[in-house]
Structure 1
Amino acid sequence: ERKAKDLTLGDLIGQGAFSFIREGRLRTANADVTVVAVKSARSKDRLCYRAFYREAAMLVALDENCEEHNPDGHPNIIKLFGVITRSRPRCILLEYAAKGDLLQLLKQQTKNNVACLVGSFLRYAVHISRALKELRRLRIAHGDVAARNVLISGDDVTKLSDFGLAHDVYTTTTYISSGKNDAEELLPLKWMALESLETRQFTCESNTWSFGVLIWEIAAFGEEPGYQNEIRLSCPRLVGILRQGYRLQKPPGCPDRLYDVMKSCWQEDPSARPEPVELEQKL
Structure 2
Amino acid sequence: MLEGKIMKHSTGEPARKLNGENFVVKVISPAICGQTCPICLRELEDRTAAVLTTCIHAYCVGCIRKWSNLKRTCPLCNAQFDSWFCKINLSSRSFRKERLPNLNCADNLKIGIGSSRTDARRILQSTRNELSRDRRSERPLTWRRSFGRRGPESVPTDVIAWRKLQWRASIYDRRIQAVPSSVRSCLVMNLTGSHGVKEAILERIKPWIQRELEAILGDPDPTIIVHLVTSLFVARLEAPSSQLNAENDFLSPLRPFLYEKTDLFWHELRCFAGSSLRMEEYDSVVEYRTMD
Q: Which has the larger radius of gyration?
A: 2
